[in-house]
Amino acid sequence: RLVREHPVVVFMKGSPAQPLCGFSNAVVQILRLHGVEDYRAHDVLQDPDLRQGIKNYSNWPTIPQVYLNGEFVGGCDILLQMHQNGDLVEELKKLGIRSALLDAEKDQEKK
């Protein structure tokens, strides 16, 4: 249910305002770079059952975990790779989210 409650869902350590591990912070920063402010974040440190349950659900052993449109995308390393190769821009577009990086590129082209 939680992975489908919003188009972008992150299971992380801490909160977007105060990530409690470097990998969770990296995910928050990548989303921020793309201008994704409206997403659901769940702090797995507050609920051990949620922490283990999401690992079992995704069959992925680490936190953070990112879900787009209810589909498991991966953790920090996968999101970083998607950011670097441009796939994240495309995946966000499928959700009706325009990446802020597209606007930043246009601004650079004008200069």
Q: Which residues pair with 43 in a beta bridge?
A: 12
Q: What is d(CA 110, CA 11) in angstroms, rounded to the nearest whole number?
A: 38
Q: Is 76 assigned a ligand-binding role in the annotation?
A: no
Q: What is the dihedral of CA 83, 37, 93, 111, to 10 degrees?
A: -70
Token pair listed for 27: 């995910």
| Binding-site annotation, residues | 21
| Binding-site annotation, residues for [2Fe-2S] cluster | 21
